[in-house]
């Protein structure tokens, strides 16, 4: 059943044009598909094999004549075809029974499609693979009263009335595209519209379609779209190529959003926002996702993937582009650094564990059973880091040249990751990337997170400082041995007084100021700095210049120096994280000292200095004061006792809350008022720090029994002028386990009972709250009985089940194994409804083999219980089979 990359072969037929006619009916939609096909002369003759899935086939005509065909599994097979021919296929499908949300489905009485990766075959028989690109004409017919808006890709060329209260619309997409980019929407929708003029002077119509009550929540998405259009022109010279660009929001969606050509379909979570219902994080996610989907118009749609093994070609590149977009929109350098730290945090807390677990796969995988399982943080976020390293190696201008060459060379084609890397290198023939290209591409072929161990030796007599580096990469499933990577290491040196030192490497004519990029290529190598007056503190891997684990035996004093002084904000933050991690690991390793507080005086004083620092941004302070997550701490251990990790981290949180009480008070007072609401980085950062202060003040109150801050927090909750402040106050009460939480939660539900996305937050906050004595699982079971709960809606299922299973380790891992049993029940229940969502949930126990007993055996048993189910989807089966194979 596994599909292998090395088995790729070009299609035996090409499809030049597709003319689709839809008669929409939720119970039985008719699809007439008329195509012009042509044999691929490059390939030996073979029968035509069209993919289909859950279709009812009524008719097949070749050149207008009834043709003989046969079914082989899900494929429709036709022999003895001429070199070119017309093929007409008539099928029906059942959108209102489509709970998988792939293909054509109904959400709140509106039709939507999701075709990536292999959903188009649920709409009609087709060569459903990305290297078959065709020109589409689409006619949609439906009841005018029930479905007044009829949308598809491209330009609306005709519309009109039909008998019996029906109407039609005809759309023509001016660009050839693979089937996964097809889209159709029909329903009662309204649009925010904006006409913009591009740099070329060309006019475009931008539209954001939502349900009637949501129009007041579309301004931010529209502004994000306008910014995206402008940014891609300015940074990469890539213009909008369509007269009309549409975004449509649906509340039933498996993923975040989808880049269908000219008709992006979004999860409402990444479109709808106003200050009363959306948090700063929501605003920032909307900006990223709108940008991401818009940037796919070039990196994905104009140039697409040859096959699904190349998925990172478009996803890694497009994540990189959306990260750069969000950074470039920041007015302040410090806000750009904050964005970078947030991105790295996602990579290290989600992708590093993936790379070390049973689902580890290269950025360009070698095989898969179900491609939907490979829309992963490795393909997306690690893929973006690989693109970022290319930019580091060729420089920002060189990278822009590379992008220009890539789109010139491959416009209109379906290509590979090799083609991308080659274009960037060819545009920069004298670069380290061009010189090292074959080795650099190991980032695409080898899975696992490389470990880079550095060691520094100062020679006072010679005034030299030598850094030795050793790189290694652990085995991953199917890859026992790894070859060395090309690792760009941005580095600077600090004096013990914290000042940045000039850098002169052996062989350099003179010293340079600031960060240098060293390019490591061997398993072990040494670099010597000359004219160094005293032992320096090395600041290694600045800006997280490569996705590796850096080991360096920093002393506490050196880390405190970096935390207080590093000019690189990433490493400044990282120094604090290393100190906190060290304290956590020490406390975990010495359970005898259960009553010894984990954090020492020096660390607490360093945190106090950051919190009180007159120059540092609130957003940066909030990041520094956030302790490494339980997941990240667990990754550093060979054997994980999740309850011990949870207890130690909670003890550390309690210590920071109490020891810095007065500082939290001050931070709260200084940051609580941010004026008229705007989701910009500076005021968001202030709200984040004020929110963090409230959490700490409520937590400290829990220990001291003081009632003042919980009371003030409840008042803040009631008075808040925006969702960020309101939700932060609510979180502070809930996460400190205060008695006032219950009334705040009830009130919150009452205010927002008609706002689905806010009710998701309400569920998620409770299911994700810190566990105290095993109280979360019973609460989660209660929440699933709430009238607002529905397991069929992915956002709602995620808000309860995932918030517990995938995001609350201290509550999931119970000595009585009840958390795992709950997990297995939900995986099985969801698998019958929506395999993609089930398979994501199944990933929650990826790291089971690291667990200490009794967790380990109990988790394995729960996974085996899922795997033993008959009729499991390919999606879930692949995940649990790989988990058990570790
Ligand atoms: N291409 C979409 C995006 O990154 C995601 C589509 C996910 N589809 C899927 N079947 N998992 O924006
Ligand atoms: Zn994408």
pLDDT at 593 over 90: no
- Best residue among 121, 258, 794 to mutate for probing ligand 1, ranked by most atoms within 8 Å of CB: 258
Q: Give residue 520 CA to ligand 1 midpoint distance, Å.
A: 34
| Torsion of the alpha carbons at 279, 282, 287 and 288, rounded to the nearest 10 | 140
pLDDT at 431 over 70: yes
Residues 6+ apart with CB under 8 A from 844: 802, 805, 806, 812, 823
3-state SS, residue 704: helix
Ligand 1 atom index nearest CA of 117: 10
**In the prediction, which pLDDT does 167 show?**
99
117 Cβ closer than 6 Å to some ligand 1 atom:
yes
pLDDT in tens, 773-793: 999 999 999 999 999 999 999
| Torsion of the alpha carbons at 55, 60, 62 and 66, rounded to the nearest 10 | 170
| Percent of all residues in the chain with a pLDDT value above 70, rounded to a whole number | 100
DSSP string, 172-232: E-SS-EEGGG--EEEES-EEEEEEEE-TTS-EEEEEEEE-GGGGGG-HHHHHHHHHHHHHH
Q: Give residue 293 CA to ligand 2 midpoint distance, Å.
A: 6
**In the prediction, which pLDDT does 811 show?**
98
Tokens of 707: 């009632």
370 Cβ closer than 6 Å to some ligand 1 atom:
no
**Which whole number is the average pLDDT over 114-140?**
99
- Best residue among 122, 255, 310, 323 to mutate for probing ligand 1, ranked by most atoms within 8 Å of CB: 255
The overall average pLDDT reported for the chain is: 98
Q: In whole angstroms, what is the distance from residue 323 CA to residue 327 CA? A: 6
pTM: 0.99
**In the prediction, which pLDDT does 591 show?**
80
575 Cβ closer than 6 Å to some ligand 1 atom:
no
Within 10 angstroms of residue 39's Cβ, the number of other Cβ atoms is 18
Residues 6+ apart with CB under 8 A from 754: none
pLDDT in tens, 525-553: 999 999 999 999 999 999 999 999 999 99
Q: Give residue 371 CA to ligand 2 midpoint distance, Å.
A: 14
CA 226 to mean position of chain CA atoms:
22
pLDDT in tens, 443-473: 999 999 999 999 999 999 999 999 999 999 9
Q: Give residue 259 CA to ligand 1 midpoint distance, Å.
A: 8
35 Cβ closer than 6 Å to some ligand 1 atom:
no
Q: Which residues surround ligand 2, an ion (CB under 5 A)?
A: 315, 318
Ligand 1 atom index nearest CA of 289: 12
Question: Parallel, antiparallel, or unpaired: how do β-strands 13-23 and 3-4 relate?
Answer: unpaired
List 457's β-bridge partners, or say none. Answer: 466
- Where are the strands (E) in 317-472, listed by range? 367-368, 414-415, 451-459, 464-472
Q: In whole angstroms, what is the distance from residue 247 CA to residue 268 CA? A: 11
**Which whole number is the average pLDDT over 176-195?**
99
Residues 6+ apart with CB under 8 A from 176: 133, 134, 135, 412
118 Cβ closer than 6 Å to some ligand 1 atom:
no
Confidence band, pLDDT 50/70/90 cuts, at residue 595: confident
- Best residue among 292, 375, 379, 794 to mutate for probing ligand 1, ranked by most atoms within 8 Å of CB: 375
Instruction: List the residue whose alpha carbon is closest to atom 5 of ligand 1.
Output: 258
Within 10 angstroms of residue 613's Cβ, the number of other Cβ atoms is 13
Instruction: List the residue whose alpha carbon is closest to atom 12 of ligand 1.
Output: 258
- Where are the strands (E) in 495-622, listed by range? 500-501, 516-520, 524-529, 537-540, 549-552
pLDDT in tens, 673-691: 989 999 999 999 999 999 9
Backbone φ, ψ for residue 64 (5° rounding): 85, -5
293 assigned to active site = yes
Ligand 1 atom index nearest CA of 293: 12
CB-based contact 204:216 (threshold 8 Å): no
151 Cβ closer than 6 Å to some ligand 1 atom:
no
375 Cβ closer than 6 Å to some ligand 1 atom:
yes
255 Cβ closer than 6 Å to some ligand 1 atom:
yes
Cα distances (angstroms) measured from residue 557 to each of 206, 544, 560, 600:
55, 22, 5, 13
The most distant pair of C-alpha atoms in the chain lies apart, rounded to whole Å, by 95
Q: Give residue 768 CA to ligand 1 midpoint distance, Å.
A: 26
Tokens of 673: 């008022």
Q: In whole angstroms, what is the distance from residue 451 CA to residue 476 CA? A: 14
Q: In whole angstroms, what is the distance from residue 36 CA to residue 432 CA? A: 47
pLDDT in tens, 394-404: 999 999 999 99
CA nearest to 170, candidates 127, 133, 140, 210: 140
List 138's β-bridge partners, or say none. Answer: 20, 171
CA nearest to 786, candidates 775, 796, 794: 796
3-state SS, residue 205: strand
Within 10 angstroms of residue 437's Cβ, the number of other Cβ atoms is 19
837 Cβ closer than 6 Å to some ligand 1 atom:
no
Task: Tell me the chain's radius of gyration from C-alpha atoms.
Answer: 28
Q: Give residue 289 CA to ligand 1 midpoint distance, Å.
A: 11
pLDDT at 12 over 70: yes
Instruction: List the residue whose alpha carbon is closest to atom 1 of ligand 1.
Output: 258
487 DSSP assignment: E
Q: In whole angstroms, what is the distance from residue 148 CA to residue 150 CA? A: 7
3-state SS, residue 416: coil
**In the prediction, which pLDDT does 178 show?**
99
**Which whole number is the average pLDDT over 117-146?**
99
How would you label 474-504 residue by residue, b for 16+ Cβ within 10 Å and e otherwise?
eebeebeebebbbbbbbbbbbbeeeebbebb
Tokens of 835: 């395999």
**Which whole number is the average pLDDT over 618-645?**
98
Q: Give residue 254 CA to ligand 1 midpoint distance, Å.
A: 9
CA nearest to 234, candidates 316, 328, 314: 328
Residues 6+ apart with CB under 8 A from 306: 8, 130, 131, 414, 415, 416
**In the prediction, which pLDDT does 860 show?**
98
CA nearest to 812, candidates 779, 763, 849: 779
Q: Give residue 259 CA to ligand 2 midpoint distance, Å.
A: 7
Ligand 1 atom index nearest CA of 255: 7
Ligand 1 atom index nearest CA of 296: 12
**In the prediction, which pLDDT does 594 show?**
67
Instruction: List the residue whose alpha carbon is closest to atom 3 of ligand 1.
Output: 258
For helices 818-831 and 776-785, give the axis angle rounded to 10 degrees: 30
CB-based contact 729:738 (threshold 8 Å): no
HSE, CB side, 13 Å, CA atoms: give it for residue 165.
5
pLDDT in tens, 412-428: 999 999 999 999 999 99
Instruction: List the residue whose alpha carbon is closest to atom 11 of ligand 1.
Output: 372
Tokens of 176: 């050839």
End-to-end CA, the chain: 19
pLDDT at 620 over 90: yes
**In the prediction, which pLDDT does 756 show?**
98
Q: In whole angstroms, what is the distance from residue 227 CA to residue 326 CA? A: 10
258 Cβ closer than 6 Å to some ligand 1 atom:
yes
Tokens of 131: 């290297």
The ligand that comes nearest to the alpha carbon of residue 253 is 1
Q: Give residue 295 CA to ligand 2 midpoint distance, Å.
A: 9
**In the prediction, which pLDDT does 376 show?**
99
Cα distances (angstroms) measured from residue 479 to each of 100, 308, 361, 447:
33, 20, 9, 8
**In the prediction, which pLDDT does 816 show?**
98
* Global ipTM: 0.97
pLDDT in tens, 235-263: 999 999 999 999 999 999 999 999 999 99
Tokens of 8: 């790729």
List 151's β-bridge partners, or say none. Answer: 185
839 Cβ closer than 6 Å to some ligand 1 atom:
no
CA nearest to 407, candidates 263, 232, 244: 232
Instruction: List the residue whose alpha carbon is closest to atom 2 of ligand 1.
Output: 258
CA 593 to mean position of chain CA atoms:
39
Question: Parallel, antiparallel, or unpaired: how do β-strands 304-305 and 257-258 relate?
Answer: unpaired
| Percent of all residues in the chain with a pLDDT value above 90, rounded to a whole number | 98
HSE, CB side, 13 Å, CA atoms: give it for residue 106.
17
371 Cβ closer than 6 Å to some ligand 1 atom:
no
Kindly name the residue from 287, 293, 315, 500 that is annotated as catalytic: 293
The ligand that comes nearest to the alpha carbon of residue 264 is 1
Q: Give residue 322 CA to ligand 1 midpoint distance, Å.
A: 15
């Amino acid at each position: 059943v596994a599909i292998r990359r090395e088995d790729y072969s070009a299609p035996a037929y090409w499809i030049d044009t597709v003319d689709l006619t839809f008669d929409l009916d939720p119970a039985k939609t008719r699809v007439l598909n008329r195509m012009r096909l042509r044999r691929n002369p490059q390939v030996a003759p073979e029968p035509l094999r069209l993919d289909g899935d859950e279709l009812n086939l009524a008719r097949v005509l070749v050149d207008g004549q009834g043709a003989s065909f046969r079914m082989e599994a899900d494929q429709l097979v036709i022999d003895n075809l001429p070199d070119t021919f017309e093929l007409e296929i008539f099928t029906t499908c059942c959108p209102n029974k489509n709970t998988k949300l792939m293909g054509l489905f109904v959400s709140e009485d509106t039709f939507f499609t999701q075709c990536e990766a292999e959903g188009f075959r649920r709409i009609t028989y087709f060569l459903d693979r990305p290297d078959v690109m065709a020109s589409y004409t689409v006619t949609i017919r439906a009841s005018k009263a029930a479905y007044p808006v009829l949308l598809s890709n491209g330009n609306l060329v005709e519309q009109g009335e039909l008998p019996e209260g029906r109407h039609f619309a005809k759309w023509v997409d001016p660009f050839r595209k693979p089937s996964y980019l097809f889209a159709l929407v029909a329903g009662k929708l309204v649009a925010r519209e904006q006409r913009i003029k591009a740099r070329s002077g060309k006019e475009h119509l931008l539209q954001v379609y939502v349900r009637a009550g949501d129009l007041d929540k579309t301004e931010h998405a529209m502004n994000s779209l306008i910014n995206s259009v402008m940014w891609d022109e300015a940074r990469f010279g890539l213009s909008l190529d369509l007269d009309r660009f549409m975004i449509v929001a649906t509340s039933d969606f498996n993923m975040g959003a989808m880049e269908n050509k000219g008709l992006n379909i979004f999860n409402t979570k990444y479109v709808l926002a106003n200050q009363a219902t959306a948090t700063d994080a929501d605003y920032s996610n909307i900006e990223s996702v709108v940008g991401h989907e818009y940037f796919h118009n070039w990196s994905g749609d104009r140039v697409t993937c040859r096959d699904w093994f190349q998925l990172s070609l478009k996803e890694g590149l497009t994540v990189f582009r959306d990260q750069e977009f969000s950074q470039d929109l920041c007015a302040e350098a410090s806000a750009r650094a904050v964005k970078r730290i947030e991105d790295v945090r996602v990579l290290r807390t989600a992708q590093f564990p993936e790379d070390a677990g049973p689902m580890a796969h290269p950025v360009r995988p070698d095989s898969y059973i179900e491609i939907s399982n490979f829309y992963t943080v490795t393909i997306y976020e690690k893929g973006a880091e690989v693109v970022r390293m290319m930019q580091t190696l060729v420089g920002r201008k060189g990278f822009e040249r590379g992008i220009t060459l890539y789109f010139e060379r491959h416009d209109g084609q379906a290509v590979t990751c090799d083609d991308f890397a080659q274009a960037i290198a060819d545009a920069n023939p004298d670069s380290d990337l061009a010189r090292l290209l074959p080795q650099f591409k190991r980032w695409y072929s080898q899975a696992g997170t490389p470990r880079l161990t550095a060691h520094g030796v100062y020679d006072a007599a010679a005034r030299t400082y030598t850094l030795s580096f050793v790189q290694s990469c652990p085995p991953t499933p199917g890859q026992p041995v790894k070859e060395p990577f090309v690792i760009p290491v941005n580095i600077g040196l600090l004096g013990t007084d914290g000042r940045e030192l000039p850098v002169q490497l052996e062989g350099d004519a003179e010293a340079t100021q600031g960060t240098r990029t060293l390019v490591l290529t061997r398993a072990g190598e040494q670099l010597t700095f000359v004219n160094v007056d005293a032992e320096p503190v090395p600041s290694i891997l600045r800006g997280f210049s490569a996705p590796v684990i850096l080991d360096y035996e920093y002393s506490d004093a050196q880390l405190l120096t970096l935390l207080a002084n590093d000019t690189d904000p990433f490493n400044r933050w990282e120094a604090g994280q290393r100190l906190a991690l060290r304290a956590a690991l020490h406390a975990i390793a010495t359970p005898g000292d259960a009553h010894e507080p984990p954090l020492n005086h020096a660390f607490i004083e360093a945190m106090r200095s950051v919190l009180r620092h007159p120059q540092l941004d609130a957003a940066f302070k909030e990041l520094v004061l956030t302790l490494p997550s339980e997941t990240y701490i667990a990754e550093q251990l060979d054997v994980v006792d999740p309850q011990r990790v949870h207890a130690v981290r909670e003890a550390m949180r309690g210590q920071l809350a109490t020891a810095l009480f007065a500082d939290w008070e001050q931070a709260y007072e200084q940051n609580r008022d941010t004026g008229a609401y705007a989701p910009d980085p500076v005021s968001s950062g202030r709200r984040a720090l004020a929110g963090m202060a409230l959490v700490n003040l409520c937590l400290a109150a829990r220990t001291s029994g003081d009632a003042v801050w919980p009371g003030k927090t409840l008042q803040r909750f009631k008075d808040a002028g925006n969702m960020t402040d309101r939700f932060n106050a609510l979180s502070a009460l809930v996460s400190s386990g205060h008695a006032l939480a219950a009334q705040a939660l009830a009130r919150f539900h009452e205010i927002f009972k008609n706002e689905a996305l806010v009710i998701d937050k309400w569920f998620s906050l409770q299911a994700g709250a810190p566990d105290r004595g095993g109280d979360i699982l019973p609460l989660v079971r209660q929440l699933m009985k709430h009238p607002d709960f529905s397991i069929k809606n992915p956002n709602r299922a995620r808000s309860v089940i995932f918030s517990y299973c995938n995001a609350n380790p201290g509550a999931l891992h119970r000595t009585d194994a009840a958390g795992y049993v709950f997990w297995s029940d939900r995986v099985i229940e969801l698998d019958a409804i929506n395999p993609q969502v089930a398979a994501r949930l199944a990933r929650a126990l990826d790291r089971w083999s690291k667990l200490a007993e009794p967790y380990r055996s109990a988790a394995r048993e729960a996974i085996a219980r899922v795997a033993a189910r008959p009729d499991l989807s390919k999606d879930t089966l692949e995940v649990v089979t790989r988990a058990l194979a570790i």
